[in-house]
Amino acid sequence: MASFPALPPLATPEELRIEQRNLDRPPVVKIRPPENPMHSQPKLRCEVLFDYGGIQVSEAHAGFAVPDPASDRFFARDRGAESAALAKLAALGLRRAQSWQKHRWELASSKLPATVRSLVSEGWQVEAEGKLYRRAGSINIEVRSGIDWFDLEGIAEFEGAPVRMPELLKAIARGENMVRLDDGSFGVVPEDWVKRYGLLAKMGHTGDGQVRFGRHQAGLLDALLASEPAASFDAGFLRVREQLASFAGLQPADPAPAFQGTLREYQREGLGWLHFLRRFGFGGCLADDMGLGKTVQVLAMLESGERRGPALVVVPRSLVFNWKQEVMRFAPQLRVLDLTGNGRKDQWSEIPAYDIALSTYGTLRRDAALLKDIRFDTVVLDEAQTIKNASTESAKAARLLKADHRLVMTGTPVENRINDLWSLFEFLNPGMLGTAAVFRAHAAAADDSLRILSQALRPFILRRTKEQVARELPPKTEQTIYCELEPDQRRLYNELRDHYRDSLLGRIDEVGIEKSRMHILEALLRLRQAACHPGLIDKNRSGESSAKIDALLPQLQEVIEGGHKVLVFSQFTSLLAILKQRLDAEKIQYEYLDGRTRDRQGRVQHFQDDPDCRIFLISLKAGGLGLNLTSAEYVFLLDPWWNPAVEAQAIDRSHRIGQSRHVFAYRLIARDTIEEKVLDLQKTKREIAGAIITADNSVIAGLGREHLELLLS
């Protein structure tokens, strides 16, 4: 009777009465290899058993009742619960076998991990080839300190069966859903654990019985384990954790007495941060907004007396002279060795005798094999976005450098572009963020990985925006950026200079300055154009590079990435046309205005109102009057207009009534050209200097031969 599919309506004595039992234990699934493993799509074989208080009943058993050996009684099966369990299997992708064994299930091998994880997570008992799959239980983690590392140890339990944490993390790092336990069974790794420990698994180095993290990874390890209640830490790690926590409270520091300058309060805090990084051996990224004085803060740190050897400072070629000038202004006692010239290789032996060795990214690439053998106290990379792509030669060369302390400077808001950070931090704190592939994968993840990475990096990035320190800034700041001509542009300029010096001075000796005025004006104009761009001399060369454009473009990129707007002025519309071509090639949006532009107000309104239009190119004469451009916070003068009133009008297009933010104005001057010489002349002969640029014939007559010799030297 028990073998009947259902109980017929019969009266039965008490001793034969059938008890109704619920299916109170999860079902059992036994998985066996395919019958034909050589089949093009082999299927795993699965058998389902239902557990009634320890009595396992095969799905294939047809009867409605099952004997209980302990009581010599029968009990009825819970057909409703069994049907629900079978429906669960079907939903997971198991299919009935297409054979006479109608109670056998089949499963594609590719679906095994996900199916096992789902079943085990709901409490099902799953066996494969006699091996039991266990559900995850608890985890205990311990962190112990070494000389300059931290070891992560611990035990994970799966239904009482243990496995050491390194084995679990190795499985997670390999993307496996199961881990072999010490008793030979398998632990099913929950998705929650993969999310929680995936970054931990891939950032550390798995060794014999532990997962090792470098000293630079202390912040990352702390962030990864912040939500682990069962994690324990030794005194060494807790000490480093306290040090990192104190990064948040910047302690202002005063510069050394020899420092020739006064730091604003936020700059004193920046100096304190730099000292803190140095004290604990961490590299850092100083990412203040453009114009807030990053160079000054770094010089105050280099001047502090903590150095135990020379510092290497790597900059774009356009900033070499500016760094020299800033050193002379703020730290004149620091000795600077220029490693950018053709004879630099003869200077390697002199590096230890200097405080600062100044190099460029181009020199760094070319001399990487030599520089890597020199140990520096400090290496500073200015405009460090140059190495944001880890595969470039500049980034590779930077990582070869040996230094006790490392620092990068950038005005780009790096915290918003986390994918660019791997290369910077691989230079600053090697190994801190694991491999590039692992970092990029987790930085792009939609889980907590990005938040954890950002939290771990926070102590090592210092960024202050103009808005944050506005109360400490004057209304307007003006600065001169000196640009070094590249060899081809230098050759063109020198040829023009030599030509005009020979022809013009000879003519003056013959007929005098008064009869040479037009020739003088032509010479001065052509030299000014050559200092700006070769394309102003020869239209066929408009596609070539120039010192000013090469210096300007990174500054513009930095400004717009910081969310600011900028005005760019030039007297030469042909120079603005070349700049337009470069911006178009970079797909950077801009507005344009010169003397021929119609609908001036429409152009202005577009720039003022459109948040995506961040650059306004303006000819100096067209933009001198009648414009109100208060949305711009940065102004660049591509070429000097030595009439101070005209320059002031241009700058005041941004800094005027209605502008509530601080304005930074930059003049670009080509080094060792007529521009720099006029700048020198202006200090003593302002009237004559202004005449050279404004073509004032009446004043040109006041030029002496000695003035022209200076300008053409």
Res. 349: pLDDT tops 60? yes
Res. 637: pLDDT tops 80? yes
Q: How high is the pLDDT of residue 296?
A: 95
Q: Name the residue type at position 556.
A: L
Handedness of CA 257, 261, 262, 267 (dihedral sign): negative
CA–CA dist 551, 572 (Å, integer): 17
State which residues form the domain around 188: 139-245
Instruction: Taking residues 554-560, report their average pLDDT.
Output: 90
Contact 555, 549 (CB under 8 A): no
134 is a domain residue: no
5 is a domain residue: no
Instruction: Taking residues 327-354, report their average pLDDT.
Output: 89
Confidence band (pLDDT; 50, 70, 90) for 696? very low
Residue 380 belongs to a domain with what CATH number?
3.40.50.10810
Q: Name the residue type at position 387.
A: I
Res. 434: pLDDT tops 70? yes
CA–CA dist 633, 630 (Å, integer): 7
Q: Which residues pair with 408 in a beta bridge?
A: 285, 381
Kindly state the tokens that stand for 395. Answer: 């980034």
Contact 57, 155 (CB under 8 A): no
Indicate the SS3 state at residue 107. strand
Q: How high is the pLDDT of residue 300?
A: 95
CA–CA dist 289, 463 (Å, integer): 7
pTM over 0.85: no
Confidence band (pLDDT; 50, 70, 90) for 524? confident
Q: Given 189, 215, 245, which residue is the final one in a domain?
A: 245
Instruction: Taking residues 367-386, report their average pLDDT.
Output: 92
Q: How high is the pLDDT of residue 194?
A: 85
Confidence band (pLDDT; 50, 70, 90) for 657? very low
Q: Where in 500-549 does DSSP place strands (E)? A: none
- If we measure between CA atoms, which residue out of 260, 144, 159 comes closest to residue 210? 144
- If we measure between CA atoms, which residue out of 213, 172, 170 comes closest to residue 192? 172
Res. 621: pLDDT tops 50? yes
Kindly state the tokens that stand for 519. Answer: 């020739």
CA–CA dist 323, 331 (Å, integer): 11
CA–CA dist 271, 301 (Å, integer): 6
Q: Where in 28-116 does DSSP place strands (E)? A: 28-32, 43-52, 55-58, 65-68, 73-76, 95-96, 105-108
Higher-scoring residue by pLDDT: 226, 555: 555
Higher-scoring residue by pLDDT: 219, 424: 424
Q: How high is the pLDDT of residue 699?
A: 42
The C-alpha angle with vertex 145 and arms to 142 and 148, in degrees rounded to 5, equals 140
**Residues 101, 158: one domain?**
no
CA–CA dist 285, 425 (Å, integer): 9
Q: What share of the chain is helix, strand, coil (3-state, %, to 5)?
A: 45, 20, 35
% of the chain surpassing 70 pLDDT? 81
Confidence band (pLDDT; 50, 70, 90) for 225? confident
Instruction: Taking residues 216-231, report their average pLDDT.
Output: 83
Kindly state the tokens that stand for 363. Answer: 């020199």
Higher-scoring residue by pLDDT: 137, 681: 137
- If we measure between CA atoms, which residue out of 620, 650, 562, 616 comes closest to residue 291? 562
Kindly state the tokens that stand for 639. Answer: 């070429």
Q: Given 443, 471, 499, which residue is the final one in a domain?
A: 471
Q: Name residues whose C-beta falls within 8 Å of residue 252's C-beta, 6 or more positions apart in sequence.
A: 265, 268, 269, 271, 272
Contact 711, 681 (CB under 8 A): yes
Give the helix/strand (H/E) hosting 485: none
Write phi, then psi, for 90 (nearest 5 degrees): -60, -40
Q: How high is the pLDDT of residue 446?
A: 54
CA–CA dist 150, 234 (Å, integer): 10
Instruction: Taking residues 548-570, report their average pLDDT.
Output: 90
Instruction: Taking residues 249-258, report their average pLDDT.
Output: 87
**Residues 539, 660: one domain?**
yes
Instruction: Taking residues 615-625, report their average pLDDT.
Output: 75
250 is a domain residue: no
Pairing relation of β-strands 125-128 and 28-32?
A: parallel
Confidence band (pLDDT; 50, 70, 90) for 181? confident
Kindly state the tokens that stand for 264. Answer: 């604003």
Higher-scoring residue by pLDDT: 657, 24: 24
Res. 642: pLDDT tops 70? no
**Residues 495, 584: one domain?**
yes
Q: Given 82, 102, 129, which residue is the final one in a domain?
A: 129
Least confident range from 336-350, 391-405, 413-427, 597-611: namely: 413-427
Q: How high is the pLDDT of residue 71?
A: 66
Confidence band (pLDDT; 50, 70, 90) for 99? low
Handedness of CA 579, 584, 585, 586 (dihedral sign): positive
Res. 350: pLDDT tops 80? yes
The C-alpha angle with vertex 585 and arms to 581 and 591, in degrees rounded to 5, equals 60
Res. 656: pLDDT tops 60? no
CA–CA dist 391, 305 (Å, integer): 35
Kindly state the tokens that stand for 670. Answer: 């080509």
**Residues 530, 510: one domain?**
yes
Kindly state the tokens that stand for 175. Answer: 């993307």
446 is a domain residue: no
**Residues 591, 672: one domain?**
yes
**Residues 114, 182: one domain?**
no
**Residues 569, 687: one domain?**
yes
**Residues 532, 620: one domain?**
yes
Q: Which residue in the block uniquely carries the two structure tokens 């008793």?
A: 183
- How many C-beta atoms surround the C-beta of residue 403 within 10 A? 18
Res. 521: pLDDT tops 50? yes
Res. 20: pLDDT tops 80? no
679 is a domain residue: yes
Res. 695: pLDDT tops 60? no
Confidence band (pLDDT; 50, 70, 90) for 494? very high
Q: How high is the pLDDT of residue 203?
A: 84
CA–CA dist 440, 447 (Å, integer): 13
CA–CA dist 483, 468 (Å, integer): 30
Contact 603, 591 (CB under 8 A): yes
Confidence band (pLDDT; 50, 70, 90) for 2? very low
Pairing relation of β-strands 476-483 and 663-670?
A: parallel
Kindly state the tokens that stand for 701. Answer: 């007559």
Contact 481, 322 (CB under 8 A): yes
Helix and strand numbers (H, E) in the chain are 25, 31
Contact 637, 650 (CB under 8 A): yes
The CB-side HSE value for 531 (13 A sphere, CA atoms) comes to: 26
Structural domains of the chain, count: 4
670 is a domain residue: yes
Higher-scoring residue by pLDDT: 409, 655: 409
Tell me, what DSSP letter sits at residue 662?
-
**Residues 172, 30: one domain?**
no
Give the helix/strand (H/E) hosting 536: none
Confidence band (pLDDT; 50, 70, 90) for 91? confident
% of the chain surpassing 90 pLDDT? 24
Q: How high is the pLDDT of residue 360?
A: 92
Contact 118, 92 (CB under 8 A): yes
**Residues 279, 237: one domain?**
no
CA–CA dist 457, 451 (Å, integer): 10
Mean predicted lDDT score pLDDT of the chain: 81
**Residues 158, 220: one domain?**
yes
- How many C-beta atoms surround the C-beta of residue 711 within 10 A? 25
**Residues 241, 286: one domain?**
no
Indicate the SS3 state at residue 158. strand
Q: How high is the pLDDT of residue 215?
A: 85
Q: How high is the pLDDT of residue 357?
A: 94
Q: How high is the pLDDT of residue 248?
A: 61
pLDDT tens digit sequence for 32-89: 877 766 666 678 888 777 877 667 776 766 666 666 666 666 667 777 777 777 777 7
449 is a domain residue: no
From residue 134, alpha-carbon distances to 49, 111, 112, 152 in Å are 17, 18, 15, 24
Kindly state the tokens that stand for 349. Answer: 């032996």
CA–CA dist 206, 170 (Å, integer): 7
Least confident range from 354-363, 613-622, 627-636, 682-691: namely: 682-691
Confidence band (pLDDT; 50, 70, 90) for 583? very high
Contact 220, 433 (CB under 8 A): yes
Contact 102, 128 (CB under 8 A): no
Pairing relation of β-strands 231-233 and 139-145?
A: parallel
Res. 628: pLDDT tops 70? no
